[in-house]
């Protein structure tokens, strides 16, 4: 990374350079990276801290790699190991870098480690459509500068397992039709376009985020559960 970073910055000092996204939020690995850079007399040589985070009931704080269970993907808020993300934020602050969630997502076919458990009255596609916007909002609430969702379209055989049905579009064999998650994310982006997250007003039972621009105030709110709870 050191040689790569220097070569890119030599060619264009204004070009951003991102480290490869770490699988999970492995703070000890980041600390070892930083120690190496310091041994060379350098600051942390990435313009962001990039981590990949997939939420599953098998995640545990401080355990890397995680053990994921089939059909037990969770929302970010219910991820049992999500407390590690605060440690990533603290590390990023110590080296003055923003945090990018380079990957997150959910499969919409059963049998995968990233498939949610069934909920009464909802398809997995509907759960995916609810949890992806929630993930983007929750990571923003926790301080991430960017969140990237994996991936754009399903694989040709979405029943094949892990990550093959996590697209927000159906696969080529279905003409790349939009899944419910596509519309949900498009609506979120459209509603919050140009706005800034200004305050976390969450309670013990409800996530509440306030966004503002020069003319509007918008609140995003949801129940951080998987019970199907809704608000009027």
Residue 104 is predicted with a pLDDT of 98
How much is the pLDDT for 1? 75
Q: What is the pLDDT of residue 119?
A: 87
Q: At what angle do helices 124-141 and 180-192 cross, to 10 degrees?
A: 30
Q: What is the pLDDT of residue 227?
A: 82
Condensed to tens digits (0 to 9), the pLDDT of residues 92-132 reads 999 999 999 999 999 999 999 999 998 888 999 999 999 99
In angstroms, what CA-CA distances link 193 with 33, 56, 210? 35, 30, 13
In angstroms, the CA 125 to CA 29 distance is 34
- On whether the CB atoms of residues 108 and 128 are closer than 8 A, the answer is yes
Q: Rounded mean pLDDT of 67-82?
A: 96
Q: Is the pLDDT of residue 140 over 90?
A: yes
At residue 40, the pLDDT reads 95
Report residue 48: phi and psi, to 5°: -155, 165
Asked if 92 contacts 99 with a C-beta cutoff of 8 angstroms, the reply is yes
**Residue 150: burial class (beta carbons within 10 Å; 0-12, 13-18, 19+):** middle
- Does the pLDDT of residue 189 top 90, yes or no? yes
- Banded pLDDT at 232 (limits 50, 70, 90): low
Quote the tokens at residue 169: 């579009």
Question: What's the confidence (pLDDT) of residue 193?
Answer: 96
User: What pTM did the predictor assign?
Assistant: 0.95
pLDDT, average across residues 52-74: 95
Reply yes or no on whether the pLDDT at 230 is more than 80.
Answer: no
Task: Calculate what percentage of the chain has a pLDDT beyond 90.
Answer: 91
Please check whether residue 182 is in contact with residue 190, taking contact to mean a CB–CB distance below 8 angstroms: no
DSSP letter string, 131-170: HHHHHHHHHHHTT-SEE--S-SB--SSGGGSTTSS--SB-
Q: Is the dihedral of CA 86, 91, 96, 99 positive or negative?
A: negative
Reported confidence tier of residue 24, pLDDT bands at 50, 70, 90: confident
Write out the E strands in 49-130: 49-52, 99-103
Dihedral angle, C-alpha 116, 119, 125, 129, nearest 10 °:
-90
Average pLDDT of the chain is: 95
Average pLDDT for 57-74: 94
The pLDDT of 13-42, averaged and rounded, is: 95
H or E, element range at 84: helix 83-94
């Amino acid at each position: 990374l050191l040689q790569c970073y220097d070569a890119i910055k030599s060619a264009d000092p204004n070009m951003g350079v991102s480290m490869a996204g770490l699988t999970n939020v492995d703070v000890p690995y980041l600390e070892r990276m930083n120690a190496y850079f310091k041994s060379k007399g350098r600051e942390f040589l990435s313009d962001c801290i990039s981590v990949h985070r997939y939420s599953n009931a098998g995640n545990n704080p401080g355990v890397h790699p995680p053990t994921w269970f089939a059909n037990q993907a969770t929302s970010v808020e219910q991820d049992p190991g999500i407390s590690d993300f605060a440690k990533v934020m603290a590390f990023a602050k110590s080296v003055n870098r923003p945090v990018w969630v380079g990957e997150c997502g959910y499969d919409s076919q059963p049998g995968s480690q990233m498939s949610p458990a069934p909920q009464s009255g909802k398809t997995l596609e509907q759960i995916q459509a609810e949890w992806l916007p929630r993930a983007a909002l929750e990571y923003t609430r926790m301080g991430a500068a960017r969140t990237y969702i994996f991936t754009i379209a399903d694989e040709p055989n979405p029943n094949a397992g892990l990550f093959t049905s996590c697209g927000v579009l159906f696969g080529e064999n279905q003409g790349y039709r939009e899944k419910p998650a596509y519309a949900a994310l498009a609506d979120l982006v459209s509603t919050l376009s140009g706005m800034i997250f200004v305050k976390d007003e969450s309670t013990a039972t409800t996530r509440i985020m306030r966004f503002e621009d020069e003319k509007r105030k918008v609140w995003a709110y949801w129940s951080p559960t998987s019970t199907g709870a809704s608000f009027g």
